[in-house]
Amino acid sequence: MKVKRYKHCRKVLTFYQKNFGFNVPYKVLIDGTFCKAALNFKVNISEQLPKYFKSEVQLCTTECATAECEALGTLLYGPLKVLQQFEILRCGHRPPTTAAKCMLSRIKKNNVHKFMLATQDEELTTAVKKHPGVPLLYIAYNTITLEAPTDFSKQSANEQLNSKMAPSEYEIIGKLKKEMFGEEEITKKKKKKRKGVNPLSCKKKKTRPGLDNAVKNKKKCRKRKRLKATGPITEQLLQSLRKSV
Ligand SMILES: [Zn+2]
């Protein structure tokens, strides 16, 4: 019986770890009704819960839960003393509201702080089950029991898993492209090495008829000028020299 009980606990904890991000140390939010049942069945919460989970736990309650016990006086004096052993979370409810409303406000908005709820309050239990991802603890047959996840929690976990598995828009577009245009060729074309002389080096110079003729004429002119300037002058000089001699 004990082995079955621990196996069940491990299975449920694994579910919440995988699907809703719960982790050690588990934070357990406890109200006065749970403490009252623990006293009646002589269950020591601080001792039993870590043994049941086989891991560290963080036990806490709220200001409103302790205020509710205080308001009921001697009727809930015992549970109040038990609650005061745990960490009392500030809630800001002024004046204090009922423990049930206070605890519900903690687990709303997707139970961001990953609280487990330990209560014997049936109304609170029913209200909590409308929110996915909130593990419930109760006392029955002198033992603490972790309730199996609700269908709502299971459905929510499946939806989250499906959304993670669903292909992204880019993947869908990529797939459609492949279907329409086929697989892209990834082969790289090798560059062919050119052999022999670089054809660019053999390229004829561009002829610019007008400009080229002008350059040629200029050269001719220079040559002629030189001949004219040097030839006859030297001959004349030679002749005059001969005459003078
Ligand atoms: Zn409160």
The answer on pLDDT for 194 being more than 80 is no
Mean pLDDT of 166-191: 65
> How remote is the CA of residue 66 from the centroid of ligand 1, in Å?
9
Kindly compute the dihedral angle of the four CA atoms of residues 126, 132, 133, 139, in this order, to the nearest 10 degrees: 10
> How remote is the CA of residue 88 from the centroid of ligand 1, in Å?
10
pLDDT digits (tens, 9 = 90+) for 49-58: 999 999 999 9
Mean pLDDT, all residues of the chain: 84
2-159, which class in CATH?
Answer: alpha beta
> How remote is the CA of residue 206 from the centroid of ligand 1, in Å?
95
> How remote is the CA of residue 238 from the centroid of ligand 1, in Å?
133
Strand partners, 57: 26
Provide the pLDDT confidence category of residue 223 given band limits of 50, 70 and 90.
Answer: low
Provide the pLDDT confidence category of residue 177 given band limits of 50, 70 and 90.
Answer: confident
> How remote is the CA of residue 29 from the centroid of ligand 1, in Å?
12
> How remote is the CA of residue 10 from the centroid of ligand 1, in Å?
31
Identity (one letter) of the amino acid at 75? L
User: Which of 10, 4, 3, 41 has the alpha carbon at shortest distance from 138?
Assistant: 41
> How remote is the CA of residue 108 from the centroid of ligand 1, in Å?
13
> How remote is the CA of residue 228 from the centroid of ligand 1, in Å?
122
pLDDT of residue 59: 98
> How remote is the CA of residue 97 from the centroid of ligand 1, in Å?
6
Query: Rounded to two decimals, what is the model's pTM?
Result: 0.68
pLDDT digits (tens, 9 = 90+) for 78-122: 999 999 999 999 999 999 999 999 999 999 889 999 999 999 999
pLDDT digits (tens, 9 = 90+) for 135-152: 999 999 899 999 999 999
% of residues, the chain, pLDDT over 70: 71
> How remote is the CA of residue 127 from the centroid of ligand 1, in Å?
16
CB atoms within 10 A of CB 58: 14
> How remote is the CA of residue 72 from the centroid of ligand 1, in Å?
16
